[in-house]
């Protein structure tokens, strides 16, 4: 121990370090204990034992250090806290987290032991860590998840818990309050949304399109109605517009192509063959809730850009409501091109952008062409480190390899520029940004994983107008002046706008209905495997 004087009090520092094993667990924090005490205070043996026991856990060390090593769960005064904690643990399945993570002691006598105090405190800290930062460490699940949860809320929450006359409310309020989390929680804990009662008649194998007639459609209507997709009609045997809309809504909720056609996949899902639809839905919801817990400590921003990679969409969320939406193209499913997940601040809208070709694309795609013909890819300038354009006749491209090529390639602003007429900059280590594109045909595809990693925007001018709308009364005129100049023009966003690149395969729409999207990069499959290793699963809920 080291003792030093600070502002007239003695500060006892007990330092220790420790960590949890396992490849993808959220790290149990390690750190030091600081306790402010009177110079004449004598520690009891129990207090000294408590100090040593929590020294390896930074959250508990900070909490007990601040409260002077006073027990929280012991004796009659701790009864309400013990009851609140037991109740909160029993309710953890509502967050999709199994109770088995929190093995609480069963003792309820007023005079409890120090071991019971520690057991309650450790479980409380673990539960609060899970709710405020997630069970798993994102980057240890998948290195393309560049998100670091904020894990500093636990000491303050424990202090509130100790001071509150209603400690159960403090624990209940620790979970994310994002509207999507509440919608996912409701979907998880409500009826089995996509599980059709087994006693209903099966839908025969087949394929039905709008306009067709078949008595078997009565079974289709009945199964849809049983899970909330009502398709009542005067003629139950007709594939009318009401049935078409009900089938499309079910397909959207089940993660199927929402074409309104009752084909083999839709029929198999409604018949419950293998239980795949509801199982997939439950897994997607549990994974999505864990992802939102990773972001629980982040200030998303009153107004922010939300890029959901599996949905191929970019939205602006303002005051909790969707203010703008556009289709988007994400990175191809290759190790070099998959779009990563992270959050940053969008600082600039760049009109008439130059395209500085990423080095990976330069040496992979263009250097071989230049070696075969120095005048190839003539739409690109060859520039040196200072940005000076070089004459190609003076360069022997055959001398260079991917490892030592010393030049950059750059495309001037133009109608066929790879970035189109505008890009949106949020500085980051991975050189990812949003931009326009001349390849407009890609936005008609259902699966839009076709870029080199950046996000291509379906309605880029409208996005620019929306982003600029809070700093000028006429954002369209501001944008048009910059565009008409023909020069690369950087418009600064005042203030900068948070942008979140996220990966949710389950997400509620404006109607509150949870929709599913394809796991295009397999990230959710890896995340689910890690959660299963932690005891997650429908049977554990």
Residues tagged active-site? 435, 454
CA distance 249 to 245: 6
Can you read off the two tokens belonging to residue 70? 């006073």
Beta strands 506-508 and 303-308 are unpaired
Decide: helix, strand or coil at residue 10. Answer: strand
CA distance 368 to 376: 10
CA distance 329 to 314: 9
CA distance 269 to 455: 33
Q: Which helix (H) or strand (E) element contains residue 3?
A: strand 2-6
Residue 49's Cβ-count burial label (10 Å; 0-12, 13-18, 19+) is middle
CA distance 202 to 273: 10
Tally of helices (H runs) and strands (E runs) in the chain: 17, 17
Nearest alpha-carbon partner for 24 in 536, 539, 529, 538: 529
Residue 152's Cβ-count burial label (10 Å; 0-12, 13-18, 19+) is middle
Half-sphere exposure of 490 (CA within 13 A, CB side): 7
DSSP-assigned states of every residue in 267-290 = HHHHTTGGGHHHHHHHHHHHHHHH
CA distance 329 to 522: 17
Contact partners, residue 123, CB within 8 Å, separation at least 6: 85, 89, 102, 103, 104
Tell me the β-bridge partners of 455. 434
């Amino acid at each position: 121990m080291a003792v030093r004087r600070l502002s007239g009090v003695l500060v006892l520092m007990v330092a220790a370090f420790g960590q949890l094993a396992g490849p993808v667990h959220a790290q149990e924090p390690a750190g030091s204990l600081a306790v402010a005490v009177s110079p004449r205070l004598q520690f009891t043996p129990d207090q000294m034992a408590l100090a040593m026991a929590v020294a390896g856990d930074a959250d508990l060390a900070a909490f007990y250090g601040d409260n002077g090593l006073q027990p929280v769960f012991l004796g009659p005064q701790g009864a309400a806290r013990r009851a609140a904690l037991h109740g909160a643990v029993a309710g953890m399945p509502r967050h999709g987290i199994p109770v088995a993570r929190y093995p609480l002691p069963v003792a309820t006598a007023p005079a409890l032991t120090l071991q019971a105090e520690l057991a309650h405190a450790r479980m409380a800290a673990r539960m609060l860590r899970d709710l405020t930062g997630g069970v798993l460490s994102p980057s240890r699940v998948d290195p393309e998840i560049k998100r670091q949860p904020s894990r500093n809320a636990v000491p303050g929450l424990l202090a509130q818990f100790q001071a509150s006359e209603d400690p159960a409310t403090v624990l209940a309020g620790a979970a994310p309050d994002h509207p999507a989390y509440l919608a996912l929680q409701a979907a998880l804990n409500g009826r089995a949304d996509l599980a059709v009662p087994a006693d209903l008649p099966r839908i025969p194998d087949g394929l039905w399109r709008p306009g067709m007639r078949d008595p078997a459609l009565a079974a289709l209507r009945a199964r849809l109605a049983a899970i909330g997709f009502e398709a009542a009609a005067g003629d139950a045997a007709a594939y009318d517009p009401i049935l078409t809309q009900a089938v499309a809504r079910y397909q959207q909720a089940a993660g199927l192509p929402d074409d309104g056609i009752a084909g083999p996949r839709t029929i198999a899902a409604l018949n419950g063959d293998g239980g795949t639809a509801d199982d997939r839905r439950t897994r997607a919801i549990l994974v999505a809730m864990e992802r939102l817990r990773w972001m629980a400590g982040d200030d998303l921003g009153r107004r922010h850009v939300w890029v959901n990679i599996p949905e191929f969409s970019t939205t602006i969320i303002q005051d909790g409501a969707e203010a703008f939406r556009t289709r988007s193209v994400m990175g191809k499913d290759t190790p070099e091109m998959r779009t990563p997940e992270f959050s940053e601040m969008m600082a600039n809208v760049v009109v008439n952008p130059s395209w500085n070709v990423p080095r990976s694309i330069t040496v992979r795609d263009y250097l071989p062409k230049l070696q075969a013909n120095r005048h190839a890819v003539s739409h690109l300038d060859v520039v040196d480190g200072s940005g000076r354009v070089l004459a190609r006749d003076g360069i022997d491209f055959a001398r260079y390899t991917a490892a030592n090529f010393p030049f950059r390639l750059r495309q001037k602003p133009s109608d066929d520029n790879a970035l189109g007429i505008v890009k949106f900059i949020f500085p980051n280590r991975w050189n990812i940004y949003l931009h326009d594109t001349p390849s407009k045909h890609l936005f008609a595809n259902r699966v839009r994983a076709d870029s080199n990693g950046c996000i291509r925007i379906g309605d880029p001018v409208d996005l620019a107008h929306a982003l600029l709308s809070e700093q000028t009364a006429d954002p369209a005129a501001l944008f048009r002046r910059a565009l008409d100049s023909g020069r690369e023009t950087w418009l600064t966003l005042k203030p900068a706008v948070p942008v979140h690149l996220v990966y949710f395969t389950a997400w509620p729409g404006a109607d509150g209905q949870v929709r599913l999207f394809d796991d295009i990069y397999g990230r959710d499959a890896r995340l689910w495997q890690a959660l299963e290793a932690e005891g997650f699963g429908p049977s554990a809920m």
